[in-house]
Structure 1
């Protein structure tokens, strides 16, 4: 079955009205192929991986299109294609004949003669089917399919609603006088009674939070940003996922999500988070005290409030002046040059811009890059979609389009992936935080493109999430480390990053506050997906919110602030925390994966010193937020 002679993306122009038709053709062809499945181990793996490959190419490309395409017709047709393929895959995952063929193949005398990768893929496929409820009676299997469909639709609707909410006029009314010099940017916004409506999460609202001396204006924006809306949708998703987990034999969705992870269970994740919290507390308290002293120096001796933090952090960081000054050396082009330099020096690979085929790109601003070896062989293709535009549903994400695979004719399928960002058009100087995000996603992309698996089933980022997050965090190092950053950060005038800015960048002020914010979001994720709602979603919202508040009891401290630590740090409500949809039960990985890159960095610098340091170090340090092996040992990993 050959559906994709080149790339699905190159066929957008002709397929616009036929997205679902292509998916339907693939599903019908897959049904025919699976109807004659072999019980010989290698033949069965080749068959299943081939069918999966064809279906994933369609579904993955359609998933990208429905999240980024500027035309609604494409989005609707792509959504229908995703649904068609997802429904079929759900049925296949509950096909008893196919499942029995896998069991026979795994227990056959020939199983030991196939490669370790083939054994792993076949075993993983069988276990995955068991996770989908293959062992269930027929009525329960049908229920499982319906729940999977409901989960996918709820997830997409929640993310779509988040986008519509942020694009709407909802926000905070603030005194026009509180904007100061920023008032020029408020033209065109709704105004009444000398007040202006700032859309929440807008660049202007963010600037007011950081720079306005008006505590009242900051309070209103803070409450608009952190307040909840449409929580019933999240509770509905929670109920569906908990029901699915129970059908699959797991105590909760968190247990299911962590079944193949390095930490293995919510208990170990909780242990890790508590260990991290105990290491972070002293540094956090010290940083909050600095902010309290800064507030007092402005003539306000009252305790810190949540709306004070962005303002005071901005003031204190300005004293270091590193972020604004370093931004002069960070442009989109300099980051691309950094990627070229990293891949060339470390891996001997070229990162080159390629000419796209007609109709291959979904917007004129999208760029196509190739990853090539020293013989000019194409190893992988990366599509970069960097800029903001109407219709984009994601701010920063990777979409795998084609995994690594050896085809039936012996040739290798070229991995393809896309990175999507939301840079404002016309912005030249980028923040260090965006540079971190950019390199984080580049790490995911490189992982996908350099995967040389025989089968696509577990290629690239299709592995367990806490392992998958390691390369992305490793690539963050190329921004965090001053020497690495200086190797490619160049101003528009061609000047390199000065030595004094390199030294200042190493200090990373207020890294403990940032790490604790991430830790508390991980706590939200764990608490949310270990809670079992009972009754209608609208009646359960308050109960879920109380459960989340209770989960923070272990993560409080006495400090120079009013209210709870969670209120101070301004965590978003579940309805605005989109990682609960994408990475439900696994958000801890972002914190967890700061540890290995730190250890690798230090091993490379000095292996002997690294060994001694691992015996004595804490989990966290001032520069990186994390280091050492304590969290690993306490979590039994």
Structure 2
């Protein structure tokens, strides 16, 4: 296809993919040509008669595969997650195993591996990248014999198919399991504007987000409706249980082939945690304090309700306790949290104050869907840094949750500047302004923390740009960025009434801060339950079979001490997208692992004056700019000027002794 836009670099600023020109029929031919080009580039590296050097081997690898990367970024990483039409889903099913097979063809190339092993360099950034490649090749099976490699290829292909099926099942199930009612009275508590936004052809459809506890449970006054919504949420996609079990078995076999006791040991070996014992020790320290907090909170909720509560009652009565004990009504806050203002005068403005960067909306540039907005980002001296895209709204073709990913990764080697996307899942109103919950505001700041990690990256090589850091470190900068949501200067800019423009009352902000300390037991416990569930699936021994996945899940929660009749894991196995169709397998622990660094860094920032350019410049230089080009824990120590401490996290979550 001579007119295939995926076969050439984009002509748009910063290499933004020309989504308007991409048609579904372009994708598979472009993938095939891109894969062939990449293999030819690899063959040329292997056939080079000169002795292996960093430039003719490692840097050459970094320059290779650009066409294939462009295709996979557009099709598998963007459209399949954010605008998955039936055609795109079919393409993903076809390409996912082929993509895995191509990766194996590269990482199991014995000639290439022999060259990599001979490369030497004294340059620190080159040494870090070289170590990344050596670790990746070993963990991919480069040292296995032919028979073992053949089995590894088969496992990887099947895992890719299973991940694709899991994700597509979940997108479908989340839409099919939406709460549907003919009577708007069932939705009482959501507010007239919100209920009107849910109307579709005379019926009212409340879509599911990808967590156990749906946000609407805090507002719905009808208990039967709450129960129905909760059950729809926690019982969706039962067909994914079999996929989860098969995935866990294959991952265990994969780990065994590479000499690891289980998949968890395989995954943490090159993370900052290093060992399964370290992860289990830290998670274990949090379980009992969190359980004690849950029991105290449950007693308070039962007292508020005047009866024993059920899981679907928790969020509702937690909101009632906040109103009564802390004088805080979340619905009273929503009129002050209009989406555009939160983004422009909150999220982006905080980044300007902290890092000196500026943003100009580019209405002449477009994303993959009409809802996507595009900003050009400029550095302190006015030079262009890259592009920032925001896709805020939920839709049936989009995965649940919130995330960031690169459309173009920063690299001095390739002269590429970053193009990054944030996805949220906010309900789009039928008309009028989009008013956010406080949780959605914090999510917007969190995801933009990831975006900053990509936008402010300043490294030579694409493999170690920005967010290309260990999984149990990547959440650290994004969690730090959440602190600016409540900074008085930032809050004064964005928290204004969408009609009058009046600033949010100080007493409402104070009530929010007091109320946020309540329900920390629940928040911590539901997170720990999900993290330990993930861990249990991935401590499976090679060859071990799971006969009954539902029983396996129940027993895993019991053994870990996180089974509770009132608190479901944040994600049950059937909709745990992070671990069964994402990169977080045996890695969901990383949120609390990173939060140790986050809580300590936030305390450091407050001790040094908070929202000051000097602090932003230091965080940018020591953490954000270096990406994966240095040891991540060394970067934290460099920023803090000392070793990180656990105590600030315990205090934040109310888990002190």
Give the TM interval when normalised to the shorter protein. 0.7 to 0.9
* Structure 1 CA distance for aligned equivalents of residues 410 and 641 of structure 2: 36
Report the alpha carbon displacement of residue 327 of structure 1 after superposing the two structures with TM: 1.7
* Structure 1 CA distance for aligned equivalents of residues 258 and 535 of structure 2: 19
Report the alpha carbon displacement of residue 599 of structure 1 after superposing the two structures with TM: 1.8
Change in 2 beyond 3 A, CA 1:440/1:545: same
Report the alpha carbon displacement of residue 79 of structure 1 after superposing the two structures with TM: 5.7
Report the alpha carbon displacement of residue 75 of structure 1 after superposing the two structures with TM: 4.8
Report the alpha carbon displacement of residue 131 of structure 1 after superposing the two structures with TM: 0.3
1:415–1:448 Cα contact (<8 Å) kept: yes
Deviations 1:202-250 (A, max 9, x none): 99x9587445565555444433432361211111111121121212222
The aligned counterpart of 1:324 is: 331
The aligned counterpart of 1:346 is: 354
The aligned counterpart of 2:592 is: 591
1:387–1:424 Cα contact (<8 Å) kept: yes
* Structure 2 CA distance for aligned equivalents of residues 201 and 546 of structure 1: 23
2:189–2:219 Cα contact (<8 Å) kept: no
The aligned counterpart of 2:112 is: 98
1:527–1:551 Cα contact (<8 Å) kept: no
2:389–2:420 Cα contact (<8 Å) kept: yes
The aligned counterpart of 1:530 is: 539
2:116–2:134 Cα contact (<8 Å) kept: yes
The aligned counterpart of 1:440 is: 446
* Structure 1 CA distance for aligned equivalents of residues 187 and 10 of structure 2: 56
The TM-score, its normalising length taken from structure 2, stands at: 0.81
1:67–1:394 Cα contact (<8 Å) kept: no
* Structure 2 CA distance for aligned equivalents of residues 518 and 601 of structure 1: 21
Deviations 1:606-635 (A, max 9, x none): 369x999x99957423xx32799x9xxxxx
The aligned counterpart of 2:167 is: 159
SS in 2 for 1:398: strand
* Structure 2 CA distance for aligned equivalents of residues 36 and 61 of structure 1: 27
* Structure 2 CA distance for aligned equivalents of residues 542 and 321 of structure 1: 39
Unaligned runs of 5+ in 1: 556-563, 631-637
The aligned counterpart of 1:42 is: 55
* Structure 2 CA distance for aligned equivalents of residues 214 and 2 of structure 1: 55
Report the alpha carbon displacement of residue 344 of structure 1 after superposing the two structures with TM: 1.3
Change in 2 beyond 3 A, CA 1:119/1:223: same
Report the alpha carbon displacement of residue 307 of structure 1 after superposing the two structures with TM: 2.7
* Structure 2 CA distance for aligned equivalents of residues 19 and 172 of structure 1: 36
Out of 118, 124, 139, the residue aligned to residue 116 of structure 1 is 124
Moved more, 503-512 or 459-468: 503-512
Query: What are the within-5 Å matches in structure 2 for residues 13-412 of structure 1?
Result: 13-37=21-45, 38=48, 39-62=52-75, 63-69=77-83, 71-77=85-91, 80=94, 83-106=97-120, 111-112=121-122, 115-168=123-176, 209-211=217-219, 215-227=223-235, 229-230=238-239, 231-296=241-306, 300=307, 303-319=308-324, 320-336=327-343, 337-357=345-365, 360-407=366-413, 412=415
Report the alpha carbon displacement of residue 502 of structure 1 after superposing the two structures with TM: 2.1
The TM-score, its normalising length taken from structure 1, stands at: 0.84
Unaligned runs of 5+ in 2: 1-5, 610-639
SS in 2 for 1:425: coil
1:8–1:58 Cα contact (<8 Å) kept: no
The Cα RMSD (Å) is: 3.5
2:286–2:655 Cα contact (<8 Å) kept: no
Report the alpha carbon displacement of residue 129 of structure 1 after superposing the two structures with TM: 0.9
Change in 2 beyond 3 A, CA 1:344/1:150: same
* Structure 2 CA distance for aligned equivalents of residues 452 and 52 of structure 1: 21
The reply on whether 1:625 has 2:653 as its aligned counterpart is yes
The reply on whether 1:413 has 2:416 as its aligned counterpart is yes
2:16–2:408 Cα contact (<8 Å) kept: no
* Structure 2 CA distance for aligned equivalents of residues 170 and 615 of structure 1: 43
2:599–2:649 Cα contact (<8 Å) kept: no
2:442–2:485 Cα contact (<8 Å) kept: yes
* Structure 1 CA distance for aligned equivalents of residues 7 and 227 of structure 2: 58
* Structure 2 CA distance for aligned equivalents of residues 31 and 515 of structure 1: 46
1:481–1:506 Cα contact (<8 Å) kept: no
1:355–1:368 Cα contact (<8 Å) kept: yes
* Structure 1 CA distance for aligned equivalents of residues 189 and 336 of structure 2: 25
* Structure 1 CA distance for aligned equivalents of residues 361 and 184 of structure 2: 46
Report the alpha carbon displacement of residue 524 of structure 1 after superposing the two structures with TM: 1.1
SS in 2 for 1:381: strand
SS in 2 for 1:467: coil
* Structure 2 CA distance for aligned equivalents of residues 572 and 542 of structure 1: 14
The reply on whether 1:544 has 2:552 as its aligned counterpart is yes
Report the alpha carbon displacement of residue 352 of structure 1 after superposing the two structures with TM: 1.8
Change in 2 beyond 3 A, CA 1:85/1:576: closer
2:97–2:156 Cα contact (<8 Å) kept: no
Deviations 1:500-533 (A, max 9, x none): 1221122212222212211221111111211248
The aligned counterpart of 1:633 is: none
Moved more, 259-268 or 154-163: 259-268
SS in 1 for 2:391: strand
Aligned residues: 594
SS in 1 for 2:116: helix
The aligned counterpart of 1:573 is: 572
Moved more, 278-287 or 126-135: 278-287
The aligned counterpart of 2:634 is: none
1:55–1:85 Cα contact (<8 Å) kept: no
2:528–2:569 Cα contact (<8 Å) kept: no
* Structure 1 CA distance for aligned equivalents of residues 190 and 424 of structure 2: 26
Deviations 1:439-458 (A, max 9, x none): 11111111011111100011
Moved more, 62-71 or 477-486: 477-486
Moved more, 77-86 or 171-180: 171-180
Out of 523, 528, 552, the residue aligned to residue 514 of structure 1 is 523
The reply on whether 1:422 has 2:428 as its aligned counterpart is no
* Structure 2 CA distance for aligned equivalents of residues 453 and 375 of structure 1: 19
Report the alpha carbon displacement of residue 396 of structure 1 after superposing the two structures with TM: 1.5
The reply on whether 1:500 has 2:507 as its aligned counterpart is yes
Report the alpha carbon displacement of residue 416 of structure 1 after superposing the two structures with TM: 1.3
SS in 1 for 2:44: coil
Report the alpha carbon displacement of residue 8 of structure 1 after superposing the two structures with TM: 6.4
* Structure 2 CA distance for aligned equivalents of residues 56 and 187 of structure 1: 41
* Structure 2 CA distance for aligned equivalents of residues 510 and 470 of structure 1: 23
Moved more, 122-131 or 7-16: 7-16
